[in-house]
Structure 1
Amino acid sequence: MPSCGSRSAWISKRPVAPLTWSGYSRRHQENSQAMLNPVHLHTLSVVLRTGSFADAAREIGYTGSAVSQQVAALERAVQAPLVERDAQSIRPTEAAKFLASRAHDIIHALSALEDDMRGFSKGDYGLMRLGAFSTASQRLLPGGLASYLRRHPNSSVELEESGPAELAAMIRDSALDVAVVYHYDLVPQKWPANVVAVPLLAEDLVLLLPGNHRLAGAETITVQDLAEESWVSTKEDSSGDACVRHLCAGAGFQPRVAVRSNNYDAIRGMVRSGLGIALVPSLDHVPTDTVIATSISGCTARRYVSALRHKTQAGVSITSFLQCLGRAADKLAASHTGIVRQTKQPEAMVPMGYLAGLRAS
């Protein structure tokens, strides 16, 4: 997963000639002997603090000879003596004191970087790129994200809202890490070959009627009972509208759609105003005064919510987020009627067979 960090740059006033790869390699070889080794800098700092090669060796876990060799290598790199040696002791030179003082912050910065990289490998750092359809962003993602960011407080999140097809394409192209999408079992959906779908929820479909509708008090309502109704549906190219058309075709009629919108709040308002009836997924249903929420007898069609990830991307961060999202789905299913936790991919209904069954009933 990509990460953002800070960089500092030193800018020379001298013009610099373009550097080819072969030129870089040659210059690197020329300067390799003069490069300061951070391990040697750390060793020098311990030598200066303990006052001897032997004590420094015991603290670091090296031999005295190895410590002496590292200091000697550092002297060659800086081209200056760092310690004055005699039979009984060593004394740091002014160059050693200057070098150790300047190296102090560098050593601690490298130590912090090592800690950060260990955290990065555990998923504690980085950017999580998420995608979701609008309702999931409101009802499912907040709980999952809260749990994930408690686990990984140094992570950041970017959210892209769009439809299932667009989000699946972004996962396919590695433009997103995880996307929450949906599909209807009456509208077969095939995700890209390099995309893995993790099941989350299954939703019943809720029939919305105006409060004064002729069927408002009916004990049972069949699809055939709705043949003469005006409908409020999602846009023609949407899977929600395709689901409604499949259901109605199974009862031998085509729905007469009066108003279309992909905004379920708007759909609910239009039903309340008597412009038509609507079929909405449970996750998108919000109980509203003067709107009757009921079910269609014999209709077992559902909408399914899944999380998509790229087939080759199953690192610590993505795995952790999917676990948090699964727990959020558990809580959502436990607190809402018409929504159940889904842990296995559903078998897609064969639309014509399903519709034939509806017609026969």
Structure 2
Amino acid sequence: MLDVRRLRLLRELARRGTIAGVAEALSYTPSAVSQQLSALERQAGVPLLERTGRSVALTPAALRLVEHADTVLAVLEQAAAELATARTELTGTLRIGAFPSAVHAILSPALVTLSREHPGLELSITELDPARAPSALHAESLDIALVQEYDYVPRDPEIGLDTEEFLTETVYLAAPNAEPLTAHRNSPWIAGTPGTLCNTMTQRACQASGFTPHIRHHADDFGTVLALVAAGQGVAFVPELGVQTIPPTVHLTPLPTRRRTHLAYRRGHRDHPVIAAARAALHSAARSLNTIAAMPPGLNHPVRK
């Protein structure tokens, strides 16, 4: 019978493309990954990897086996979820991944609810960019995570993960004055670090308006971004959750662009009691959010809706 742990390694290799990438994600050594995949080949009785120098490629048989691995691992997750429903109290560790602007606004009240209603749970929060969350879920270093997409940066479906709609935010242009986006084609810009969704969105949104932004500063904390705008260092895109306090010299112009957040978890894990409790607490916190959508220009604090 094929070893489930080795199937998981093969699936990760299909996702990441290199043995080194699999080793880093799952905290193995590259040699250990190679040994386990070689053992899987012997179990399967057919070649699974084509080795050329230091690179490897999956054979057609391996790609087919990866499809079965997704099904097998999802069924095992579902079986574990069904067994967990027999417990009278939720225990164990719940590992949640969230982007920085959600930690204060959403995670804090959700953690209060989870701690009160399920004191046997050990809660663990990891702050990370949403682009890294799928890999962490696959590696089982997270159980549930907040993932994102922007209108200009759609999210690719992830094999082995399920998602559900969670939150939609307006994206604002933060600038000294109320001017259209096209008025800032020659302005310096503030964006997230290269490789983040916020950085990609900034470039694509500006390009859709007919220009390429000159990015002078890189910052991932939106409080820092707004402080730089207030200091006259440039303009920036800021989603609703990123606005806690608005500096008096910063004007926010709502744009048609939206940021959409989804809850993500491993396939078959949705109805696990711990995941169900996390989903309920997170949705409740999101429904209680204060937003700035109804805020008239000139106010420097969000108003309650």
TM interval, short-chain normalised: 0.5 to 0.7
* 1:225 partnered with 2:191: no
**Relative to 1, partners in 2 of residues 1:284 and 1:277: Cα closer, same or farther, differing over 3 Å?**
same
Correspondence 1:259 to 2:241: no
What does residue 92 of structure 1 align with? none
**Structure 1 residue aligned with 2:284, among 317, 321, 327?**
327
AA aligned opposite 1:194 = G
Of 187, 196, 200, 1:238 maps to 196
Which of 85, 95, 107 does residue 141 from structure 1 map onto? 107
Residue in 1 that maps onto 2:262? 306
Separation (CA, whole Å) in 2 of partners of 1:196 and 1:312: 8
Distance in 1 between residues matched to 2:131 and 2:167, nearest whole Å? 18
What is the TM-score when the length of structure 1 is the normalising length?
0.55
- The Cα of 1:201 is off from its aligned counterpart by 0.8
Residue 135 of structure 2: aligned partner: 169
- For the pair 1:206 / 2:172, whether they are aligned, the reply is yes
d(CA) in 1 for partners of 2:84 and 2:212?
60
Shift of the alpha carbon at 1:159? 1.4
SS in 1 for 2:250: strand
Residue 337 (structure 1) aligned to one of 278, 292, 297: 292
Question: Aligned-pair distance for 1:305?
Answer: 1.5
Structure with larger Rg: 1
Tell me the CA shift for residue 118 of structure 1.
Answer: 8.9
Residue 309 (structure 1) shift:
0.8
Distance change (3 Å), C-alpha of 1:280 and 1:118 = closer
Q: Is the 8 A contact 1:130 1:158 kept in 2?
A: yes
SS in 2 for 1:291: coil
Residue 118 of structure 2: which of 140, 147, 152 is its match? Answer: 152
SS for the counterpart of 2:256 is: coil
Deviations 1:108-164 (A, max 9, x none): xxxxxxxxx999724521111111111211110111121122221111111112111
The SS at the match of 1:188 is: coil
Could you tell me how far apart the structure 1 residues matched to 2:237 and 2:251 are?
A: 10
Structure 1 residues 199-219: Cα deviation after superposition (integer angstroms, max 9, x where no partner): 211111111123xxxxx2x4x
Alpha-carbon distance in structure 2 between the residues aligned to 1:295 and 1:241: 19
4+ residue runs over 4 A deviation: 117-120
CA distance, structure 1, for counterparts of residue 266 and residue 122 of structure 2: 20
Deviation at 1:310, TM superposition (A): 0.6
The percentage of aligned residue pairs carrying the same residue is: 22
Secondary structure (helix, strand or coil) at the match of 1:121 reads: coil
- Amino acid corresponding to residue 229 of structure 2 in structure 1: V
Maintained 8 Å contact 1:126/1:156: yes
Aligned length: 211
Please show how residues 1-361 of structure 1 align to structure 2 within 5 Å. Answer: 121-210=87-176, 216=177, 218=178, 221-295=179-253, 299-314=255-270, 315-332=272-289, 335-338=290-293
TM-score (norm 2): 0.64
Give the gaps of 5 or more residues in structure 2.
1-82, 295-305
Deviations 1:52-75 (A, max 9, x none): xxxxxxxxxxxxxxxxxxxxxxxx
1:123–1:316 Cα contact (<8 Å) kept: no
**Separation in structure 1 between the aligned mates of residue 125 and residue 189 of structure 2, nearest angstrom:** 33
Contact 1:234–1:240, Cα closer than 8 Å, also in 2? yes
Looking at structure 2, the residues matched to 269 and 173 of structure 1 have their Cα atoms a distance apart, in angstroms, of 36
Question: What displacement does 1:316 show?
Answer: 0.9
Amino acid at match of 2:251: A
Q: Secondary structure at the match of 1:145?
A: helix
Q: Given that residues 229 and 250 in structure 2 are in contact (C-alpha distance below 8 angstroms), is that contact kept between their aligned partners in structure 1?
A: no
Q: Is the 8 A contact 1:122 1:317 kept in 2?
A: no
Deviation string, structure 1 residues 22-65 (Cα, Å, up to 9, x no partner): xxxxxxxxxxxxxxxxxxxxxxxxxxxxxxxxxxxxxxxxxxxx
Q: Distance in 1 between matches of 2:263 and 2:85?
A: 25
Give the secondary-structure state (helix, strand or coil) at the position aligned to 1:271. helix
